């Protein structure tokens, strides 16, 4: 293998840190007696993969392309994440809500 070629079996730093963050989120929710079901995992992974802030609707549209879950599930999961200090919710100047994973919490 040439020096410049990447080993396809190796994960990028971003992928590895996303997986570590995802595991920490699952662990925190389980420790707070929440069930981490398939649908919640989809929402959590979708939010973690976002590089920028997102609305619940934007996140749902991104997820819904491949996984058919309800927007209510997205809102409920986001609220659980916010209440447990895993994500945060903030508003822009027109009072639209945005969500983001609080990555500093997991450093």
Give per-residue pLDDT as tens, 40-58. 999 999 999 988 999 999 9
Whole-number pLDDT of residue 18: 83
- Domain boundaries, given as residue ranges, for the chain: 14-106
In the CATH hierarchy, which fold is given to the domain comprising 14-106?
Answer: Arc Repressor Mutant, subunit A (1.10.10)
Burial of 97 (0-12, 13-18, 19+ CB in 10 A): middle
Instruction: Classify strands 97-101 and 87-91 as parallel, antiparallel or unpaired.
Output: antiparallel
pTM score of the predicted model: 0.82
Inter-CA distances, 59 with 52, 62, 83, Å: 11, 5, 18
Kindly state the tokens that stand for 45.
Answer: 């992974």
């Amino acid at each position: 293998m040439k020096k410049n070629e990447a080993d396809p079996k190796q994960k990028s730093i971003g992928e590895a840190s996303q997986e570590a963050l995802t595991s920490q989120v699952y662990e925190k929710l389980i420790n707070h007696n929440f069930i981490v079901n398939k649908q919640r995992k989809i929402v959590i992974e979708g939010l973690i993969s976002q590089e920028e802030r997102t609305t619940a609707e934007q996140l749902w549209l991104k997820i819904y392309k491949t996984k058919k879950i309800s927007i209510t599930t997205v809102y409920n999961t986001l609220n659980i994440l916010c209440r447990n200090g895993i994500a945060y919710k903030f508003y822009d100047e027109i009072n639209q809500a945005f969500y983001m994973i609080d990555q500093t919490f997991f450093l």
